[in-house]
A = this chain, B = another copy of it.
């Protein structure tokens, strides 16, 4: 349970943009519907993805977001790291700045945490959004054609309510 809601949302948003066939940019509103994400959160996440060069934006009517690179060049690990930070399970096992373990005498645990870290990195850094598109069974054009997205007239904020709490 260490992938935060925001990271989940961000990866879903990128996947949604990767799944789209035509070149039309997608509005925050649309992405929110496609991914079941609160719009207000995407208003924070997408600029962040934009700052990292993962997506590109256009303003004004007919504006929106699109990917800045082919899906094959965007790894899942990059998005996760951007939103969430280092992939190490514990601070004494980060690759960049492992803070020394308080238990001096040969803390063999550190080595195991590093193994978990490396296994995680190996998966997330080799999985691209092209892979995810493929696993999803292709693009979304057919689906979006057959299942009309209900763009209701009174389109105000907060399309999807907060997720129900699961105790």
Contacts and interface: CB of A to CB of B under 8 A. Distances in A.
- Interface range on chain A (Cβ under 8 Å from partner): 35 or more
A121 to B, nearest CB: 10
A136 B106 contact: yes
A54 to B, nearest CB: 16
A156 to B, nearest CB: 20
A135 B119 contact: no
Nearest to A94: B1
A34 B107 CA distance: 11
Interface string A127-146: 10001110111001001000
Interface of A: 1-3, 8, 11-12, 15-16, 34-36, 76, 85-86, 88-91, 99, 102-109, 111-113, 115-116, 119-120, 122-124, 127, 131-133, 135-137, 140, 143, 163, 166
